[in-house]
Chain A
């Protein structure tokens, strides 16, 4: 670890790894500081990602793919099962990753490209000069050192503090945090080729419960409920334990994973003077699915591209870095976050009866393009009444 870099990246998750790799590929020097002693552990994720989304950044490798998905299922509050498959039977639609290995691979690729990495190294405060971020204080084994940088990329995840220290409010509203718990379970009877989602107020209030296969008889079994629905005696863990006892009474839990997923709107502004914010820290998780791996990689890469551009021009002001904020908002990802935010807000207000009705209307779907957007479009096509209820939102979906 040196005392000066072009780009200082805080956090060694997918956002930070892609940011550092991109920066060095652009000819800049970069350092990733990661507060944990190991990259990728403990895992805080159900590890699902779409096939195309993954391939935009990296070719799938069996070393970090636990399972390949050919379909999905949704279980209505009344137990009715809706099957989703690709129009091309047997076609792969997504993967369940092994993030312990995947995250390492991403950071490894960044370091191979020339980035420095420091683990068990925590950014504990920004270095500010005249209101401009100029680096960070980094703590390693009780020792604090100053690391200066032309620009800092805060990729410090859901528990992000760095932007807050720089004066940016990153607080997630309680009702928009998915309070989550997941067990990695083995010795359970599952469909090993499909991700299954359980909906309903009794199962997972304002959230969902998932079974994401990790192999023939093992899966990530988890749940996220709205923070507003959480409380003593009815927490995410209480709901999950009830489900597991009923559904997989003989299964064995080999990993215990609590977590939080933000399903709010992204930060109002994701840049500051000398600062770019990427991934979960920017609150760019898909508010409908809770998926954030792709969005983290996308914003991490873009942040570094804009940083390189601005370093080239010698202007790292907030105004210059705004290009990053504008570009991701206008991107397919940005638009999809905005649209899915509205869909989520609509869905969480629906009573179980309504969810039953919607899911019953589409018992079996073959999607030409396997995506949440296409699923919603199909649902609206089959239930024209929904157009009225969704109003302007429905128009944006056509």
Chain B
């Protein structure tokens, strides 16, 4: 599952541009994750701030 650390996120949209599933969307200052997210982790890698993290589902 993709976890967004909202205290770190700077809502810049860098992650949105690389998401191959079109799962992310920047709604002004709020990053939303849609159901098509596959937890591939590309967004977490490129985030300039480290605001995204793929965490294992329990």
Contacts and interface: CB of A to CB of B under 8 A. Distances in A.
B46 A157 contact: no
B35 interface: no
B35 to A, nearest CB: 15
Interface stretch (A47-55, A258-266, A348-356, A366-374): A258-266
Given A158-B14, A230-B48, A260-B48, 11 more contacts: A35-B28, A36-B28, A44-B12, A158-B13, A161-B16, A171-B20, A174-B18, A174-B46, A179-B48, A180-B14, A259-B14
Contact of B10 (A35, A258, A262): A258
Interface stretch (A110-118, A232-240, A270-278): A232-240
- 6 A-B pairs closest in CB distance: A159-B13, A260-B14, A227-B46, A258-B10, A236-B48, A159-B16
Nearest to A160: B17
B27 interface: yes
Nearest to B10: A258
A259 B17 contact: no
A256 interface: yes
A312 interface: no
Interface in A150-204: 157-161, 164-165, 170-174, 177, 179-181
A171 B19 contact: yes
B48 A259 contact: yes
Interface residues of A, number: 35
Interface in A216-237: 227, 230-232, 235-237
Interface of B: 10, 12-20, 22, 25-28, 42, 45-50
Nearest to A164: B22
A165 B25 CA distance: 12
Contacts of A165: 22
A252 interface: no
Contacts of B18: 171-174, 177, 227, 260
A257 B46 CA distance: 15
A180 B17 contact: no
A179 B25 CA distance: 17
Contacts of B26: 159
B13 A260 contact: yes
A122 B32 CA distance: 14
Interface string A120-137: 101000000000000000
Contact of B12 (A164, A230, A260): A260
A160 B19 CA distance: 11
